[in-house]
Amino acid sequence: MRIDDTKLEAVRNWVDTNFDLFYANIRGDNRWIYQIPNYETFKYPEEFLDIKYELMDMFGVPVYARQDRDIYDAIGVQIEGGFTHSHLDNNEGDNVHFRLNVLASKSIGGGMPIIADEIIEVEEGEPWICYSGIEWHSTTEVKGDKRRILLTYGFTLPKDDKFFDDVWNDYRREMFLV
Ligand SMILES: [Fe+2]
């Protein structure tokens, strides 16, 4: 499973020409973010939305999944020294927050997701899922002069949705279901 580089290239170019829309992420240095709470009034490259639908199809996200209202769909940029500290995203009541992610640009070193204490080695264009409301997640520190560009799409679904059937284990059930 891989996202076509021509689409990623279009998003990378859009980031270059629209970087004034990004703001410094208050959660850490060397990080910027641009959030897209809706596709009616916010600017975005059309390939960004194409990729969302492609990822939903790849991961079998049901069409009734709702847009998360914690982070929304977003583009994150990190340069050398940037990283994401370990955290959980906010769930919405009994609805679990999860995210589909893909790197439009992979840094020379670092920038890899860490999910539930495990480093996930991903290539540019190689998507992954993070059950971000129930799995602690972070990233390794970006190294080198090539920036990391993350495309991230957030959803919520009820905790008992069959989409999560393979996800729950005792540990997560303990922290969320009780
Ligand atoms: Fe997160």
Q: Are 30 and 107 in contact (CB under 8 A)?
A: no
| pLDDT tier for residue 113 given thresholds of 50, 70 and 90 | very high
Q: What is the whole-number distance in angstroms between the Cα of residue 84 and the centre of ligand 1?
A: 8
How remote is the CA of residue 88 from the centroid of ligand 1, in Å?
A: 6
Residue 23: the pLDDT is 95
> In the β-sheet with 113-115, what is the strand arrangement from edge to edge?
118-119, 113-115, 137-139
| Cα torsion 141, 11, 59, 37: sign | positive
pLDDT at 170 over 60: no
Q: Ligand 1: distance of its center to the CA of 70 in Å?
A: 9
Please give the distance, rounded to the nearest whole angstrom, from the Cα atom of residue 97 to the centre of ligand 1: 9
- Residue 137 Cα to ligand 1 middle (Å): 6
Between 134 and 43, the more confident residue is 43
| pLDDT confidence bin for 82, thresholds 50/70/90 | very high
Residue type, 107: S
**H-helix or E-strand spanning residue 17:** helix 5-17
Write down the pTM of the prediction.
0.94
Distance 170 CA to ligand 1 centre (A): 22
| Å from CA of 132 to ligand 1 middle | 6
- Mean pLDDT to the nearest integer, 52-74: 97
Quick check: 28 pLDDT over 80? yes
Q: Residue 80: CA atoms inside 13 Å, Cβ hemisphere, count?
A: 5
User: How far is ligand 1, taken at its centre, from the CA of residue 152, in Å?
Assistant: 10
**pLDDT for res 178:** 43
Q: Does the domain at residues 5-176 carry the CATH identifier 1.20.1740.10? A: no
Distance 178 CA to ligand 1 centre (A): 22
139 CA distance to ligand 1 middle (Å): 10
Mean pLDDT, the chain, integer: 94
Please state the rounded mean pLDDT for residues 130-136: 93
How far is the centre of ligand 1, averaged over its atoms, from the C-alpha of 117 (Å)?
14
